[in-house]
Amino acid sequence: MRLRRIAAADEAVAHSQLVVHEPEKQKGHWQELFERGQAIELEIGMGKGRFIIDMARLHPEINYVGIERYPSVLYRALQKMEALEREGQMPLNLRFLCIDARELPDIFAPGEVECIYLNFSDPWPKARHANRRLTSEGFLVRYDQILAEEGRIEFKTDNRELFDYSLETAAVSPAFQIEEKTYDLHRDEKMSAGNVMTEYEEKFSSKGNPICKMLLHRRRD
């Protein structure tokens, strides 16, 4: 699906105080951007921001960074934050990045991130594009470079082929192991506890599409 460009997006993102500009300068110093020094969690490919904004509001004890590659999409999240600010409800523990996720090791220091959320990532269905998938071997290597010793990855998708591929790459990863998995999240009582939905999740699940989820932790063997 072709992304619709929003004329005001580039300028809004460039001037927003919620967007971290020149993020490589924050490497090893991300805690200084927030009011409180506490665990940092990322969502990569956050879309319009519903999930990461809801998480930040639900968990003020955690600092969040939402990552979105496209300014026209990130702009929608900024609009949500502006609306919350007018209502006096904007979370202060959330910042945004407009970058390609391949840059992560240049932006975060080893051990600086506690958790990475991957929600309904682009499946890149053609085999020649497999290395662009956010659960590919190359990206797992990048995550390994920034996650804390007890760090974890949470991945959700409605695309069964992408999920099966992700299970395969995780199974052979030297850094991570599959802690839990489900092919139908909303019917899995244990894994659905405390689940926060994204825009896509609500849309897909309302049509009866099962949501797959897996949790990865660092290997302990």
Q: What tokens does 201 get?
A: 């999740």
Q: Pairing mode, if any, of strands 176-182 and 147-157?
A: unpaired
What is the Cα–Cα distance from 205 to 203, expressed in whole angstroms?
6
**SS3 annotation, 107-128:** HCCCCCEEEEEEECCCCCCCHH
183 appears as a binding residue in the annotation: no
Q: What tokens does 111 get?
A: 């051990």
**Catalytic position from the list 10, 54, 106, 122:** 122
Q: How many C-beta neighbours within 10 Å does residue 100 have?
A: 9
122 appears as a binding residue in the annotation: yes
10 carries an active-site annotation: no
203 appears as a binding residue in the annotation: no
137 appears as a binding residue in the annotation: no
68 appears as a binding residue in the annotation: yes
158 appears as a binding residue in the annotation: yes
188 appears as a binding residue in the annotation: no
Residue numbers in the known binding site for substrate are: 126, 158, 198-201
Active site residues: 122
Residue numbers in the known binding site for S-adenosyl-L-methionine are: 43, 68, 100, 122
Residue numbers in the known binding site are: 43, 68, 100, 122, 126, 158, 198-201
